[in-house]
Every structure is written in C-alpha cells, then in structure tokens.
Amino acid sequence: EVQLVESGGGLVQPGGSLKLSCAASGFNFSIYWMSWVRQTPGKGLEWVANIKRDGSEKYYVGSVRGRFTVSRDNAKKSLYLQMDSLSAEDTAVYYCARASGVNANWFDPWGQGTLVIVSS
C-alpha cells in the first residue's frame, strides 16, 4: 500500500523554527518528485514546495521562499520541510504528497497531514 506519514507539527512561537518529516512506503520513492501542500481555513489549499527525484531542483511558493527548505533522503524514503522565521500566516495543516504524472502534474497520494500552529 502506498502511504505517506507526516510528523513534526506542533505549536511554535512567531519567529521560531520547526522541521516536518514525511515517511514514505509502498512505492519507489526515489523516482518521484515530492511536494508539500498546506491548508488553512482562510486560504484553502496552497502548494508550498517541490523537490526533484534526486534533490537537485527545488521550488517554493513565493511566500515561503528564503524561509522554508525542502529536502529528502532517498535511502530513508523520507521528505523534510525545514521551516524558519515562522509567522501566524504559516499556521496550517501541512501535507506531504507524491507529485505524480510525467511532469509532476498532480498530487497522489497525500499524507494525513500534520498541524502547525504559530502563536505566542
């Protein structure tokens, strides 16, 4: 069974840092682009970051560029999101997802999500 399991969410103060992890199983992790997508009640679903199969290319939405860093460890079949300089606007459920399709066209499957709350 293809599965993604996120961890690492929690409560963090504004300006703080948090690192999310996503453990993959049931598929050949190293041949897929991987993504982080977040969801808030106010802004809905928002793509956050993508990372290429070998980690050589990374892309971010403008609002997190320079603050968030996506990485992966193919040997451990794991995806990470290092989040620094967090603000209240980063409060969301963060999902990892496999970017599927020839050109990473869509997201399938998704993990169950991990909640990040930025608050003092």
Q: Interface residues for another protein in 45-64 (CB under 8 A)? A: 45-47, 50, 59-62
Q: Interface residues for another protein in 69-108 (CB under 8 A)? A: 95, 100-101, 103-108
Nearest to 57 by CA among 77, 82, 21, 33: 33
**Between the CA of residue 53 and those of 77, 86, 95, what are the distances in Å?**
11, 27, 18
Nearer of residues 16 and 55 to another protein, judged by Cβ: 55
> Is residue 11 at the binding interface for another protein, with CB under 8 A as the rule?
no
Nearer of residues 14 and 43 to another protein, judged by Cβ: 43
Stretch binding another protein (CB under 8 A), from 11-19, 20-28, 41-49, 70-78: 41-49
Cβ(22)–Cβ(111) below 8 Å: yes
| Angstrom distance (rounded) from CA 6 to CA 97 | 10
Q: Which residue's structure tokens are 């209240």? A: 88
Nearer of residues 17 and 89 to another protein, judged by Cβ: 89
| Angstrom distance (rounded) from CA 49 to CA 66 | 12
Contact set with another protein (CB under 8 A): 44-47, 50, 59-62, 95, 100-101, 103-113
